[in-house]
Amino acid sequence: MRNNGFDVLVDEVSSFCDKHHIDVPNMDEAFVLSGRSRRNAPIKTNRHHYRVDLFIYVIDEQLTKLDDRFNEVNTELLICLACLSPNDSFVAFDKQKLLRLAQFYPQDFSDGDLLALEDQLELYIHYVRSSSNFSELQRIGGLAKTMVETRMHRAFNYVYLLITLALVLLVATASAKMVIDNKVKESKLKDASASKASASASMDNAFASKKAEKESFLKHFFKKEVDPESNDQDVDSELEDQAFMESLFQEEVES
């Protein structure tokens, strides 16, 4: 796709634009970045800009991410698996890579089975490319279904076995991804709950500390001690004042 996919993409985009009356830039004309004059712009064509600066750049970025996520064996397995795709009249078909894919399943393909598979692949690709039943297929699952419906799974039994093994691999990969995604979500929820609990505890501690400070402040400035040498009238007055201030103190602490 990196080497040959750009022209196919341009044809598809141009067809869409023509259908909806959208102007398509001439790929052979000089590309000028919006907002810059032609005099100062680097000399390159629209084709070079869209193919090298965008199309190839994006593919290389995706390949870099794949290299970071998958090891060499897994990458080879995925590349071989892609050769089963029925898209665009089986354009991705590669006999050698499909034989290599079968070698990843030594319990299902003996040396004799690999020889039989090699012979079947030659006949298989000629048949599916010339048959209208397989011309509109997009997915490997649809390919397997159509082979059963046309009984080609019996004529190309080793090819069909390889396709079913590929489907099992795809389902297992999707299931594993789902499990990983669910674990990541559970971990995030646990972290969020822990953070919320920690924040709530911090707020409770802050309120308790503030209340204690307010209590200490009010006691220090408002609470009075009764003078034991005062007469009865003075004592009663002191006690009334003290009771009044304590009631104010209690209301302030509880607020």
Predicted local distance difference test score (pLDDT) of residue 154:
94
- 227 occurs within a structural domain: yes
User: What Rg do the C-alpha atoms of the chain give, in angstroms?
Assistant: 39
Of 49 and 40, the one with more pLDDT: 49
Running DSSP on this structure, what letter comes out for residue 246?
H
| Mean pLDDT, range 169-179, rounded to an integer | 61
Q: Which two tokens stand for residue 76?
A: 């080879």
Of 69, 90, 123, which marks where a domain is finished? 69
Over 80: is that where the pLDDT of 177 sits? no
- 62 occurs within a structural domain: yes
In angstroms, the CA 182 to CA 186 distance is 6
Q: What percent of the chain has pLDDT over 90?
A: 32
204: number of Cβ within 10 Å: 10
| Mean pLDDT, range 89-118, rounded to an integer | 94
- 201 occurs within a structural domain: no
Predicted local distance difference test score (pLDDT) of residue 184:
56
| Mean pLDDT, range 116-141, rounded to an integer | 94
Of 200, 226, 225, 213, nearest in space to 252 by CA: 213
Place of tokens 């048949």: 127
Of 21, 40, 69, which marks where a domain is finished? 69
Q: Quote the distance between the C-alpha of residue 172 and its chain's center.
A: 17
Of 69, 100, 123, which marks where a domain is finished? 69
Of 61, 62, 24, 64, nearest in space to 46 by CA: 24
- 116 occurs within a structural domain: no
Predicted local distance difference test score (pLDDT) of residue 223:
47
- 231 occurs within a structural domain: yes
Over 70: is that where the pLDDT of 208 sits? no
| Mean pLDDT, range 193-219, rounded to an integer | 62
Give the number of residues written for the chain.
255
Burial class, 183, CB count within 10 angstroms (exposed 0-12 / middle 13-18 / buried 19+): exposed
Of 9 and 179, the one with more pLDDT: 9
Total number of domains constituting the chain: 2
Of 34 and 252, the one with more pLDDT: 34
216: confidence class by pLDDT, cuts 50, 70, 90: low
Predicted local distance difference test score (pLDDT) of residue 225:
46
| Mean pLDDT, range 223-243, rounded to an integer | 50
- 156 occurs within a structural domain: no
- 252 occurs within a structural domain: yes
- 34 occurs within a structural domain: yes
The pTM is what?
A: 0.49
Q: What percent of the chain has pLDDT over 70?
A: 61
Domain residues for the domain of 253 are: 223-255
Over 50: is that where the pLDDT of 176 sits? no
